């Protein structure tokens, strides 16, 4: 049984491979990316328990990847990998929501110890408050269970991610571009039709069978979730 799923975003392939081998030996499931754009897309398309993120990346920088992740996800622990003399990067990273940083070169045993600490802290945080709610609609982030009026609602992974983003920004009007960027990632840039399609899917499952709709269209702007 996997101890958790970890994403490694590191452009130096030898370092990424070394971290991957050590983590898999310790019983973790891993995925790797070598550019910021690829890493962000992977993070947004799958569920990860922890992210190891190099600051110096081609394309999107590690700090920009972190900023975009933290705009929608405050829970997943992020450990930055920084160069020895890059104090501004460390400070900026912590300000943007990184949980920890390791300075290169580092001992793999220390990285493993920090991963254990942050995964333990994360599981505690989710256990303390796994529920998101609006009216009689409840979502448990830990079990990914969605219920309304005590009825279980089955959602696909993408529908679930869209609902989570709407719930975390309820009572705010969200443009199609915002939803596309934060739920689908930049691979879908410009294809806002996909947002309308998935909003329709969600509406059919969350609102259609019930008397009170929560998902509202704001004409010419986008969508919002509100009572």
CA angle, 217 then 161 then 74, to 5° = 110
The residue among 112, 128, 144 that closes a domain is: 128
pLDDT digits (tens, 9 = 90+) for 140-179: 887 788 999 888 999 888 898 899 989 988 888 888 888 8
- Whether residue 195 contacts residue 177, with contact meaning beta carbons closer than 8 Å, is answered with no
In the structure, what pLDDT confidence band is assigned to residue 180 with cuts at 50, 70 and 90? Answer: confident
Q: By percentage, how much of the chain surpasses pLDDT 70? A: 92
Q: Label residue 50 by pLDDT band (50, 70, 90).
A: very high
Give the CATH number for residue 209: 1.10.10.10
Q: Are residues 18 and 49 in the same domain?
A: yes
Number of separate domains in the chain: 2
Nearest CA to 80 out of 216, 72, 69, 71 is that of: 69
pLDDT at position 2 is: 64
pLDDT tens-digit profile of 89-132? 778 888 888 889 898 888 999 999 999 988 887 766 666 556 88
Residue 188 has pLDDT above 70, yes or no: no
Whether residues 12 and 64 fall in one domain: yes
Give start and end residues of each alpha helix (H) in the chain. Answer: 13-25, 36-45, 62-70, 87-95, 108-128, 157-168, 176-179, 193-206
Q: Which residues touch 49 (CB under 8 Å, ≥6 apart)?
A: 4, 5, 6, 76, 77, 119, 122
At residue 129, the pLDDT reads 59
Provide the phi-psi class of 31: left if phi over 0, else alpha when psi is between -120 and 50, else beta: beta
Same domain, residue pair 137 and 187: yes
Same domain, 36 and 53: yes
Domain boundary among 87, 102, 128: 128
**Percent of the chain whose predicted confidence (pLDDT) is above 90:** 44
Q: What is the pLDDT of residue 121?
A: 77
* Average pLDDT score, the chain: 87
Identify the pLDDT of residue 95: 85
Contacts of 186 (CB under 8 A, 6+ apart): 37, 40, 41
Confidence at residue 52, expressed as pLDDT on a 0 to 100 scale: 97
The sign of the dihedral angle between the CA atoms of 98, 100, 104, 110 is negative
**Together in a domain, 73 and 142:** no
Whether residue 189 is predicted with pLDDT greater than 70 in this model: the reply is: no
Question: Residue 86: is its pLDDT beyond 90?
Answer: no
Q: Tell me the pLDDT band of 80, cut-offs 50, 70 and 90.
A: very high
Distance, in Å, from the CA atom of 139 to the CA atom of 145, rounded to the nearest integer, reads 6
Give the whole-angstrom CA distance, residue 85 versus residue 198.
45
Q: Which of 128, 163, 185 is the last residue of a domain?
A: 128
105 preceded by a cis bond (ω within 30 of 0): yes
Its domain, for residue 115, covers: 5-128
pLDDT band at 1 (very low <50, low <70, confident <90, very high): low
């Amino acid at each position: 049984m996997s101890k958790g799923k970890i994403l490694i975003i590191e452009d130096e392939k030898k370092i990424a491979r070394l971290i991957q081998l050590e983590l898999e030996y310790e019983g973790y499931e891993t995925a790797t990316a070598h550019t910021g754009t690829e890493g962000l897309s992977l993070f947004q398309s799958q569920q990860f328990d922890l992210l190891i993120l190099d600051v110096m990346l081609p394309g999107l920088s590690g700090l920009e990847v972190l900023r975009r992740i933290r705009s929608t996800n405050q829970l997943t622990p992020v450990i930055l990998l920084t160069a020895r003399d890059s104090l501004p990067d460390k400070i900026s990273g912590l300000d943007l929501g990184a949980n920890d940083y390791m300075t290169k070169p580092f001992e793999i045993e220390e990285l493993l110890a920090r991963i254990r600490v942050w995964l333990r802290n994360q599981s505690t945080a989710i256990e303390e408050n796994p529920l998101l709610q609006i009216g009689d609609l409840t979502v448990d982030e830990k079990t990914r269970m969605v219920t309304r009026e005590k009825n279980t609602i089955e959602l696909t992974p993408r529908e679930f991610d869209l609902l989570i983003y709407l719930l975390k920004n309820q009572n705010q009007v969200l443009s199609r571009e915002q939803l596309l960027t934060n739920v689908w990632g930049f691979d879908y840039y410009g294809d806002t039709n996909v947002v309308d399609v998935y909003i329709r899917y969600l509406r059919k499952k969350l609102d259609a069978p019930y008397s009170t709709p929560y998902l509202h269209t704001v004409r010419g702007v986008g969508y919002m979730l509100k009572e």
